[in-house]
Amino acid sequence: MEFESNYSSIKNTSESAAWSSKLPQGLDLEVSHHPITMRHIANLIIAVDRLKGVEGVTMGTEFKDKDLFNFLLESAVEEHIVLELESAPPASRRAAGFSSTSQYECSVTDSENKCWVLMNEAMELHAMMLQGGSGYHKVHLNLSTYVTPVPIETEARPVALGIKGSNLYLSCSKSGGRPTLHLEEVADKEQLKSISQQSEMVRFLFYRRNTGVDISTLESARFRNWFISTDMQQDITKPVDMCQKAATNRLTTFTIQRHN
């Protein structure tokens, strides 16, 4: 058998010898030393398959342009599918949820410069103005940052907020039919290092979205569109609580000052 082209062919080269050794006795193969086109490669594949007795190849030795197009199209689609499957994250990674990466100490003040103060008896955080030497009442927090295998938010970062020197963490859960802010004791802090997206522990997570230099909002990861907020009135001490973004009597932007 001989493969023809518009170029001159050279017989008895090392390439021809390598291929000829694989062909039945009495058959010969010529390899062109000119640039090989995709059509020549496709013709060669079909011819070798026929010589090997591969079933399903019934066309003649002439490989038409339409056949070449179909052959390349099928190959391209198949490769595309393989790449998509390889790039998809494993099920175990998709189910991993939130993973803690770092932690640092900080304090929080609202846009009216009111500080968060811990009221031990009521187990609540209150926002109030601190004058002169009363700054020591300001609560210091341990802010833990989280990542997810597949980011849920592109402009927000999941965080957990714990009272420094204690096992108390801010959480958001429903009370009286609406999301409210709570202080909960977490005996085993290891539970907060990895949190499944379907877990009840998501109540401890908030999305921190920066709206300026060190200015952020804190949205509940469990109840979207509900934000940590303080009362607008400065002369009345009220608990830090949750509100929806549209609330006109609440402040939802905070300065988060890092201390280390």
pLDDT in tens, 95-144: 458 999 999 999 999 999 999 999 988 899 999 999 877 888 899 999 99
* pLDDT score for 116: 96
Task: Write out the two tokens for 205.
Answer: 């997570």
Of 171, 207, 174, which Cα lies nearest the Cα of 192? 171
Q: In this predicted structure, what is the pLDDT of residue 92?
A: 42
CATH topology of domain 97-258: Trefoil (Acidic Fibroblast Growth Factor, subunit A) (2.80.10)
Tokens of 254: 């905070």
Which residues of the chain register pLDDT less than 70? 1-40, 42-44, 46-96, 151-154
The predicted structure's pLDDT at residue 1: 44
> 124-158 as b/e, with b when 16 or more CB fall inside 10 Å?
bbbbbeeeeeeeeebbebbbbbbebeeeeeeebbb
Q: Which residue(s) pair with 183 in the sheet?
A: 170
pLDDT of residue 235: 73
- Give the pLDDT confidence score for residue 213 in this predicted structure: 80
Largest CA distance in the chain: 104
pLDDT score at 96: 55
Q: Where are the domains of the chain?
A: 97-258
pLDDT computed for residue 131 by the predictor = 84
